[in-house]
Chain A
Amino acid sequence: MSMHPPSTRAAPQLDVQAIRQQFPILGERVHDRPLVFLDSAASAQKPNAVIDSMANTMRHQYANIHRGLHWMSERTTEAYEGVRDLVADFLNAPSREEIVFTRNSTEAINLVAHSFGALLRPGQAVLVSQMEHHANLVPWQMLRERAGIELRIAPITDAGDLDMDAYSALLADGKVALVAMTHMSNVLGTITPARQIADLAHAAGAQVLFDGSQSVVHHKTDVQALGADFYTFTGHKLYGPTGIGVLWARRDLLERMPPFLGGGDMISTVTFEHATWANIPHKFEAGTPAIVETIGLGAAIEWVSKIGFDAIAAHEADLTAHALERLVGVPGLNIVGSPRVRGGVGSFTMADVHPHDIATLLDRNGIAIRAGHHCAEPLMRRLGLSATARASFGIYTQKEEIDVLADTLVRIRDFFV
């Protein structure tokens, strides 16, 4: 089992205790036990830096943006647009104008399905994988119904890796206009070989979208190095607030694509008969955006960047290795998938104990995990499962918490069997 690069050898150590001090919620107790939060893949907790930046915005420096001629509006516009620079830098995007703010990753993918989808014609295809979150499947199904395109599904191996031969074969006829693929599975933890996926897609004349919702949290993202054409992520998994997500797309694509939503802020001129569109990225940001949340996302990016992805990736690789070692020792436990490269997310099942019973009993012991189909029903069917339990790790997760999880799982198994 290999972990995601970079190599852990020279990686700076993370002071987990100092980090935990910055997350007030981690001091809470649940059912009279210390909170063990192992559900960061669903949504991460928030550090003081994010909480304070949002509260301070509302306390001291808030007004609507872009059109205001007064001091408060101008300062708030600067703060909001400053986050666009931060995000561009975070993704190594060539230009800040290529950063579009959305509500979340789901909305970003829907934007592409709507606006890039409007350029597609019957006979063309969109290709996704078997391990997509519903967010990167349903919008393409909807596009198929609307536009008469074909939707192709690239299979995965039993280990939980993309089947690269099958993927290549699905590209061979040159009809695929867009490959839309997860960069990291929210169920299996699989980190997909993005560069290879992109190269094969481009060779077949397709554009590539990566759903980075899970992966941006765990390692440095460079959209240019990945060879991506579209990249999406969401703020709330990156220790930022809910209600703010990001679409990055190549400038020429954004310029060719029609708007997604119509309204204020996205126009150039409007008459009763007609409207013309604003330049990118504003063409895709209709209405008053999530100003406070965007500023909160900026705080999260600054906070994470200060810690650095070398340290974060090394910490999480260490946790994942520890978790695999400990969970394998739990009687009856089966870890779902063994992908070549995996991030800090792992699903498991337990013989004779249903995932929901596992989750409820863990919760009664203060341990928060997720159970169910994880918004990936087709993947569950592919794996022959109806549900799994999933533990996921974050920057604040401690090895001791994984030990508590493993010990409690042993007792749950004893209780039921």
Chain B
Amino acid sequence: MTTITAERDALYDRLIVERARAPLYAGRLDEPDLQGDGRNPLCGDKTHLDIALNGHHIRDIRHQTRGCAICTAAADLMVEHVRGGTVAQAVEMSERFRAMLVGPSPVVEGQSAPLGALEVFAPLRSHKARIRCAELPWIALKEAFSHVDG
């Protein structure tokens, strides 16, 4: 008899399922300074970001995502992690997130500059077809930042 629960540890961490079901940072901002969109033509998933800046700080950020559990949770957890930090910190985090998924060696636990809760996506390394789902919000973030100088 097969079980789904076994998957909880492997790919769909409890946190992913919870954030997909009830995202904490879904919605729009009234007057965003930046906006970004990510779209996956393979599955039609899309995410929209509204960002409010205070200098180089991300004062507030919200996402509107229509996608799978991994995409929705990735958007929500990304927002949670970049909110309050600087644009440069978010860009650096984006690079480490990407390295965790497709870099030459997997992120080792306890390594410096951990990604915190974002590490729930690490098992995607062995699910190549789904990496794009977790990357989509980061692609939208990159697009939003492309409108920022320096």
Contacts and interface: CB of A to CB of B under 8 A. Distances in A.
Interface of A: 33, 352-357, 360-361, 364-366, 371-373, 380, 386-387, 408, 411-412, 414-417
B21 A416 contact: yes
Contacts of B69: 353-354, 357, 416
Given A356-B130, A415-B4, A371 B12 contact: no
Interface in B20-65: 20-21, 42-45
B127 A360 contact: yes
A386 B70 contact: no
B3 interface: yes
17 contacts: A33-B2, A352-B21, A354-B68, A355-B43, A356-B130, A357-B69, A357-B70, A360-B127, A364-B7, A364-B11, A373-B42, A373-B44, A408-B2, A412-B4, A415-B12, A415-B17, A417-B21
Interface string B104-137: 0000000000000000000000010110010000
A31 to B, nearest CB: 9
Interface of B: 2-8, 10-12, 17, 20-21, 42-45, 66-71, 127, 129-130, 133
Contacts, number: 64
Contacts of A365: 2, 4
Contact of B7 (A354, A361, A373): A361
Contacts of B45: 354, 356, 386
Contact of A354 (B10, B67, B127): B67
Contacts of B130: 356, 360
A97 to B, nearest CB: 41
A364 B10 contact: yes
B129 to A, nearest CB: 8
Given A360-B127, A416-B69, A373 B43 contact: yes
A90 B83 CA distance: 64
A371 B43 contact: yes
A357 B69 CA distance: 7
A366 B4 CA distance: 12
A408 B45 CA distance: 24
Nearest to A372: B43
Nearest to A352: B21
A411 B26 CA distance: 27
Given A360-B129, A372-B43, A415-B12, 12 more contacts: A353-B69, A355-B43, A356-B45, A356-B133, A357-B12, A360-B127, A361-B12, A364-B10, A365-B2, A366-B2, A408-B2, A415-B8
Contacts of B127: 360
Given A373-B44, A386-B44, A411 B68 contact: no
A411 B44 contact: no
B68 A361 contact: no
Contacts of B3: 411
A408 B3 CA distance: 8
Contacts of B7: 361, 364, 415
Contacts of B66: 386
A354 B11 CA distance: 15
Nearest to A353: B69
B43 to A, nearest CB: 5
Given A354-B67, A408-B2, A387 B44 contact: yes
Contacts of A354: 45, 67-69, 71
A81 B44 CA distance: 44
B43 A386 contact: yes
A266 B66 CA distance: 51
B4 to A, nearest CB: 4
Nearest to A360: B130
A380 B12 contact: no
Contacts of B70: 356-357
Nearest to A408: B2
Given A364-B10, A364-B11, A387 B43 contact: yes
The 4 A-B pairs at the shortest CB distance, nearest first, are namely A386-B44, A354-B68, A411-B4, A356-B68
A352 B10 CA distance: 21
Contacts of A387: 43-44
A411 B5 CA distance: 9
A409 to B, nearest CB: 10
B66 to A, nearest CB: 7
A352 B21 CA distance: 8
A372 B42 contact: yes
Contacts of B44: 373, 380, 386-387
Contacts of B8: 415
A87 to B, nearest CB: 34
A371 B4 CA distance: 19
Contacts of A364: 6-7, 10-11
B46 to A, nearest CB: 8
B32 to A, nearest CB: 25
Contacts of A366: 2
B2 A361 contact: no
Contacts of B133: 356
B4 A414 contact: yes
Select the residue from B3, B8, B43, B129 with max chain A CB neighbours within 10 A: B43
Select the residue from A361, A415, A417 with max chain B CB neighbours within 10 A: A415
